[in-house]
Structures are given as structure tokens and as C-alpha cells.
């Protein structure tokens, strides 16, 4: 049985549809070759069926392969923009 049932399913929170996901982020200004190497190595993991079945699958997680570091950054920006009104309305402050 999955530890995280219904992972990658959309949920409504305060009127906003939200999908939970995990990602590896690097600091702003990280050199493009470093980002490229990280992306390349993570892509290998995401494509490793044995790892997915024995590790991620047991946690109820499904891998998502980002086409590029730029696409991953765009996804993060999209989520920030979508959730900003919820964070503001709830008066959530960074800690």
C-alpha cells in the first residue's frame, strides 16, 4: 500500500487547485553547466525502472521528468504565481 495515496492528484485548497510535488532546486545564479549536469544525472534516476519500483513506488511516488532546467524553473514560477494569493490571504510569513 502506498504511503502517499493519491500522489500527484489535484486538490482544492482555498479555491486553488494544487498538486503536490517534490523537486531539486539550486540557488539563483548556479552556472548552466552545473544545472545541466544535475538535470542529466536526475534524468538517469527518473528513467531507472528498478529504482522507481523498489524505492519511489514503495513511497507511493511517481517520477516526473522535466524536459530541461528552464522548464523546471518555469514550473516553479507558475506554482509561485498560482499560490501567492493563497499565501497572502492566509497571512503566511516566511520562517
Tell me the per-residue pLDDT of 31-88, one tens digit each, with 9 for 90 and over. 999 999 999 999 998 899 998 888 888 888 888 888 899 998 898 899 889 888 888 8
Tell me the per-residue pLDDT of 5-41, one tens digit each, with 9 for 90 and over. 444 445 665 566 777 778 888 999 999 999 999 999 9
DSSP string, 11-64: EEETTEEEE--------TT--HHHHHHHHHHHHHHHT-HHHIIIIIGGGT----
Amino acid at each position: 500500500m502506498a504511503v502517499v495515496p493519491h500522489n500527484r492528484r489535484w486538490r482544492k485548497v482555498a479555491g486553488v487547485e494544487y498538486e503536490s510535488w517534490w523537486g531539486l532546486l539550486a540557488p539563483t545564479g548556479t552556472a548552466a553547466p552545473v544545472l545541466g549536469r544535475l538535470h542529466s544525472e536526475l534524468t538517469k534516476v527518473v528513467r531507472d525502472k528498478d529504482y522507481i519500483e523498489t524505492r519511489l513506488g514503495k513511497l507511493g511516488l511517481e517520477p516526473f521528468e522535466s524536459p530541461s532546467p528552464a522548464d523546471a524553473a518555469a514550473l516553479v514560477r507558475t506554482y509561485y504565481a498560482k499560490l501567492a494569493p493563497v499565501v497572502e490571504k492566509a497571512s503566511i510569513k516566511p520562517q
